[in-house]
Amino acid sequence: MNENKQNWIGRLSNSIALENTFGGKQPSLDRLRLAQLVMGEIGDIHISLTFLELPENSPARWVRKGCDRVQLRLSFYDLKKLTVIGGSHEGNLDVSATFGPEGAFKISSSQFNIELRYGFVTADLYPFNSTVFEEPIAWYRR
């Protein structure tokens, strides 16, 4: 397996907070759903990617609470490059994501692609029950 796919949590500025979430294993960033893409202030972008099922080794408390999916909410800061190819689509897109060297990040699908270079990135996880979930407004603002 590609090292970039294996060690994506290690590329986060807040990696310590997420390192043990999945029992020390990092879920694959393939087969995700692009739920939200928000261009914030100059130099930041916020991307919400949904795992279509709970990743292996997810915390037992998520299952006990009835959660069946989790969103990975990425906030990229100090953007150096941003390329978006594709247009609007109905519904959410199924994508794969990849962290690369030197602050590179890509989202790929057959219809929509994003490439960016960033200074630093943070992430949060939002577990939810997909039968009752509603996207919170402006989740990236704290």
Least confident of 34-38, 48-52, 129-133: 129-133
Compute the CA torsion angle 19, 23, 29, 32 (nearest 10 deg): -120
| Paired residues of 128 in beta bridges | 69
Distance CA 127, CA 85 (A): 29
Q: How confident is the model over 42-95, as pLDDT tens digits?
A: 779 999 999 999 999 999 999 999 999 999 999 999 999 999 998 766 667 899
Is pLDDT of 115 > 90? yes
Amino acid at 80: K
Distance CA 122, CA 108 (A): 20
| Paired residues of 84 in beta bridges | 114
Which structure tokens are listed for 30? 């393939």
| Range 108-136 average pLDDT | 87
Q: How many CA atoms lie within 13 Å of 72's alpha carbon, on the beta-carbon side?
A: 31
Q: Are 3 and 69 in contact (CB under 8 A)?
A: no
Which structure tokens are listed for 28? 């694959």
Distance CA 63, CA 57 (A): 11
Is pLDDT of 1 > 50? no
